[in-house]
Amino acid sequence: MKWFNNEKGFGFIAPDGGGADLFAHHTEIQGTGYRSLDEGAKVAFEPKQGPKGLQASQIRKL
């Protein structure tokens, strides 16, 4: 996780293999309760095409 703004509910993931950062929205974080991610956290995700390019979906904390 490159960074995540808890107040706004989004951030960006820097893929391990390089390439462009992916947009991450809190609604795509799997789990129950308050959905947030910590900077530097390892996550797994599925890339999908969003309205403004690739974004992360089905985000899971590792």
Which domains, and CATH codes, for the chain? 3-61 (2.40.50.140)
Low-confidence ranges of the chain (pLDDT < 70): none
DSSP SS3 for 52: coil
pLDDT of residue 41: 92
SS3 percent helix, strand, coil of the chain, rounded to 5, is 5, 45, 50
pLDDT of residue 33: 77
pLDDT of residue 13: 97
* pTM (predicted TM-score): 0.87
Closest CA to 23 of 43, 44, 4: 4
pLDDT of residue 31: 86
